[in-house]
Structure 1
């Protein structure tokens, strides 16, 4: 499943074009991650779901919630967000 804009629970996102990613051609790197940028949120949710081998609506919304409510402030890059998610999803994810 591809997690889309209409699947996001939050509505406080901005949709600036400077952080658009291809869902299939790129992977997280050292780009600055803005948790309120809807494009980046969709990118990281879909990339993380792909790494899990599955992504449901519930999984995507759980990942969104983790990023918005649990992610440490010092988690700055896409890569650090992805690595942080790998650690916490095992605990909170199921």
Structure 2
């Protein structure tokens, strides 16, 4: 499944600035991650869900909450958010 804007619970996201991943790069990269950019949050949630092999609305909401409430300020790139999420999500899912 694809986690959509309609699934997000938080309402503080900026939707004015789109996400520009080229068709050749659909992977998290060193691009600066903005936790308030709804497109980037959706991108990370969906990419992480794909890496897990499954994604439910419950999974996506858990990731949204982790990003919103616990993402350290020093985690600045999409790649570092993905790696941080992998460690913290897997820790909380056990």
Q: TM-score, normalised by structure 1?
A: 0.91
Residue by residue over 1:37-76, the C-alpha shift from the partner in whole angstroms, topping out at 9 and shown as x without a partner, is 0000000000000000000000000000000111111000
Count of matched residue pairs: 94
Q: Per the alignment, do residues 20 and 93 of structure 1 end up closer, same or farther by CA in structure 2, a change over 3 Å counting?
A: farther
User: Root-mean-square deviation (CA), in Å?
Assistant: 1.9
* Structure 1 runs of 4+ with >6 Å offset: none
Q: Per the alignment, do residues 86 and 6 of structure 1 end up closer, same or farther by CA in structure 2, a change over 3 Å counting?
A: same
Instruction: Give runs of aligned pairs for residues 1-94 of structure 1, distance below 5 A.
Output: 1-21=1-21, 26-94=26-94
Q: Matches of 2:17 and 2:85 in 1, distance apart?
A: 24
Once the two structures are overlaid, the 10-residue window that deviates more, 12-21 or 59-68, is 12-21
Shift of 1:16: 2.5
Q: Matches of 1:90 and 1:22 in 2, distance apart?
A: 29
Q: TM-score, normalised by structure 2?
A: 0.91
Residue by residue over 1:7-64, the C-alpha shift from the partner in whole angstroms, topping out at 9 and shown as x without a partner, is 0010110013342447995100000000000000000000000000000000000000
Q: Matches of 2:62 and 2:12 in 1, distance apart?
A: 17
| Structure 1 unmatched runs, 5+ | none
| Structure 2 unmatched runs, 5+ | none
